[in-house]
DNA sequence: GAGTGGTCTAGACCACTGT
DNA sequence: CAGTGGTCTAGACCACTCC
């Protein structure tokens, strides 16, 4: 401790936490901080980049440094799975009205823009183990991007894997032109006689890769939530393995665990 | 784009991803990189600090820079709640054997070291809203640290809030000297006639604060998972609000959602 | 053009690690 | 002590934003 840049960063951090510098406020210019601290430009910049990595400030080139505002978080509720299951056997008309994402966000379907792309692949060793199938088993790999119509960045990156032999009975399921599919994956599986029993979701967090930063338009000082979702059918087979990347500053996951009564 | 430090970082990142530099391997020394790149020392250092923030490398002062190894993750399974509820009415002897944490990690109770500290506080505006009670309502604030006996850093930071008037009927519940309490919070609540109906867990992620980095002994380039756990009793009252901070590189949360049959 | 942040250098000096 | 990374400077020059 007590390096020059840590002192400068610590002073500013204290002022931000005390509310003296409120979210949205402009920090003193770097030139000012150089004068006040008596340290060099690069040292002041280092202090500021520490605060940026902590997610406390946002640097805007040519404008100034600002206290970062908390972003409103989109909720992703695990009741979405039961909700989607309930609708999987409804009529097309009803299913067309809204999907699970709209259910979470409370938005109309027109507020969302949706991209999907399918590809046939073979199971890697890692995926084969999760599916409990031999390496090289044909899979259908599906990638999705969903974003608000009003924004440019998607709010998640999704890669889903289905077992090819389980879904090839319905040729419509192999063509990404049919996305967005009314009723979602659970309805798609229903068309080939698959009913889900449970969904496992494994959650962890890490700093974003440069590619994720790019695609999700993340600011420096943001983490990503990484979610692996595994769907089991009523015969206890793994039918879908999805990897989902979510921006940590814009996402909140909600899981409700109901307990049996005494 | 295509700045000097980005090029150097990009080259090393590519070599790491290709496996040419495997986890645990030592990177070329900074002096070597200066020669190879023809750039200055600080520029090379900047490239390396980018990779550090991404969690790709680990800097060891006086030794070298190394490709970071993935850490083994402790699993936190939401079935722990039902498991804890089932044990809440068992005998003391049985409850003493293991707690929910041991259940998750598969460890013996002697492998864990446990700290707890209680304090009486008043509800802030934010907590009051979650509890659905007036601001200033007396609460029992409990902070916990749990760590492996073999390690120095705790694997989580927990702050739990109970409504004081709900638990003061049993004086033992107000004294942190009684921790670790066999059977955990659900048994504690059982002693004052409270049965839980469900648990809501809200999960998000962000970079750690300096204090969290310190307490959890996090390396630069690590995120934290922030979990707010809200416990509802069978009368639909909020009885516990806990905030839990977990290291992103050592933790995996597992949530299983069971679906109703058609 | 004035103001602000971003990149980069060349080199000094300090601190930690292992022999 | 040699090797390696960490901090810091003084100043040059570039890039973006706003007026």
- Fold of the domain spanning B4-67: Arc Repressor Mutant, subunit A (1.10.10)
Burial class (CB in 10 A: 0-12, 13-18, 19+), A83: middle
- Between the alpha carbon of residue A92 and those of residues A113, A195, B36, B125, B130, the distances in Å are 20, 18, 62, 46, 39
DSSP B119: E
Structure tokens at A94: 């009803």
Is A199 within 8 Å of B256 when comparing Cβ atoms? yes
Its sign, for the CA torsion A169, A175, A181, A184, is: positive
Q: For residue A151, how many other CB atoms are within 10 A of its CB? A: 11
The 3-state secondary structure of chain A reads: CCCHHHHHHHHHHHHHHCCCCCCCCECCCHHHHHHHHCCCHHHHHHHHHHHHHCCCEEEECCCEEEECCCCCCEEEECHHHHHHHHHCCCCHHHHHHCCHHHHHHCCCHHHEEEEEEEEEEECCHHHHHHHCCCCCCEEEEEEEEEEECCCCCEEEEEEEEEEHHHHCCCHHHHCHHHCCCCCHHHHHHHCCCCCEEEEEEEEEEECCCHHHHHHCCCCCCCCEEEEEEEEEECCCCEEEEEEEEEECCCEEEEEEEECCCC
Give the model confidence (pLDDT) of A24-38 as tens digits.
Answer: 999 999 989 998 888
Expressed in angstroms, the distance from the first to the final Cα of chain A is 53
Protein residues in reach of strand D (CB < 7 A): A 3-6, 38-43, 46, 60-63; B 27, 29-31, 41-42, 45, 48, 59-65
Res. B1: pLDDT tops 60: no
Contacts of residue B77, Cβ cutoff 8 Å, sequence gap at least 6: B104, B254, B256
Phi, psi of B114 (to 5 degrees): -135, 130
Give the model confidence (pLDDT) of B37-71 as tens digits.
Answer: 888 888 999 999 999 999 999 999 999 999 999 99
pLDDT band per the 50, 70, 90 thresholds, residue A1: low
User: How far apart, in whole angstroms, are the C-alpha atoms of residue A9 and residue A41?
Assistant: 14
Structure tokens at A219: 């600011």
Look up tokens 């390690």; give the residue. B151
Strand partners, B198: A258, B232
Mean residue pLDDT across chain A: 93
Average pLDDT in the A43-50 region?
A: 93
* Strand D bases contacted by the protein (CB, 7 Å): 3-12, 15-18
Taking the Cβ of residue A2 and every Cβ of chain B, the question of whether any pair is shorter than 8 Å is answered with no
Q: Which of A33-42, A100-109, A206-215, B23-32 has the least mean pLDDT?
A: A100-109
Res. B36: pLDDT tops 90: no
pLDDT for the residue B115: 93
Taking the Cβ of residue B221 and every Cβ of chain A, the question of whether any pair is shorter than 8 Å is answered with yes
Res. B123: pLDDT tops 90: yes
Is B198 within 8 Å of A258 when comparing Cβ atoms? yes
User: How far apart, in whole angstroms, are the C-alpha atoms of residue B126 and residue B129?
Assistant: 5
Strand partners, B116: B144
Nearest residue (Cα to C1') for D16?
A: A62
| A74-254 is classed CATH 3.40.1410.10 | yes
Give the model confidence (pLDDT) of A197-217 as tens digits.
Answer: 999 999 999 999 999 999 999
Q: Give the mutation candidate from A17, A78, A100, A205 for the B interface (greatest B CB count, under 10 A).
A: A205
Res. B130: pLDDT tops 90: yes
Let me know: does A195 contact B261? Beta carbons within 8 Å.
yes
Question: What is the pTM (predicted TM-score) of this model?
Answer: 0.94
User: How far apart, in whole angstroms, are the C-alpha atoms of residue A217 and residue A209?
Assistant: 12
Taking the Cβ of residue A72 and every Cβ of chain B, the question of whether any pair is shorter than 8 Å is answered with no
Nearest residue (Cα to C1') for D17?
A: A62
Residue A44: nearest nucleotide (C-alpha to C1'): D8
> Among candidates A229, A226, A225, A213, which has minimal Cα distance to A250?
A225
Give the model confidence (pLDDT) of A156-167 as tens digits.
Answer: 999 999 999 999
Q: How many residues does chain A have?
A: 262
Residue ranges covered by each domain of chain B: 4-67, 74-254
pLDDT band per the 50, 70, 90 thresholds, residue B97: confident
Taking the Cβ of residue A249 and every Cβ of chain B, the question of whether any pair is shorter than 8 Å is answered with yes
């Amino acid at each position: 401790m007590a390096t020059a840049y840590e002192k400068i960063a610590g002073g500013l951090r204290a002022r931000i936490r005390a509310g003296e510098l409120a979210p949205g406020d402009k920090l003193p210019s770097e030139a000012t901080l150089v004068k006040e601290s008596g340290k060099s430009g690069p040292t002041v910049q280092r202090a500021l980049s520490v605060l940026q990595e902590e997610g406390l400030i946002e640097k805007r080139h040519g404008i100034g440094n600002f206290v970062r505002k908390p972003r409103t978080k989109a909720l992703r509720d695990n009741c979405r799975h039961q909700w989607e299951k309930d609708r999987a056997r409804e009529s097309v008309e009803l299913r067309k009205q809204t999907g699970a994402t709209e259910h979470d966000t409370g938005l109309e379907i027109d507020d969302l823009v949706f991209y999907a792309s399918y590809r046939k692949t073979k199971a890697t060793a890692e995926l084969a183990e999760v599916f409990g199938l031999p390496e090289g088993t044909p899979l259908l790999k599906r990638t999705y991007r969903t974003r608000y119509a009003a924004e440019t960045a998607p709010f998640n990156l999704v890669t889903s894997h289905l077992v090819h032999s389980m879904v090839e009975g319905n040729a419509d399921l192999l063509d990404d032109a049919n996305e967005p599919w009314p009723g979602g994956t659970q309805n798609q599986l229903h068309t080939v006689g698959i009913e889900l029993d449970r969904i496992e979701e494994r959650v962890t967090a890490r700093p974003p890769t440069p590619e994720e930063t790019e695609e999700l338009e993340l600011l420096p000082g943001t983490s990503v939530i990484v979610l692996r979702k595994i769907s089991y059918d009523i015969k206890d087979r793994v039918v879908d393995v999805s990897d989902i990347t979510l921006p940590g500053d814009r996402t909140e996951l909600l899981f409700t665990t109901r307990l049996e009564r005494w």
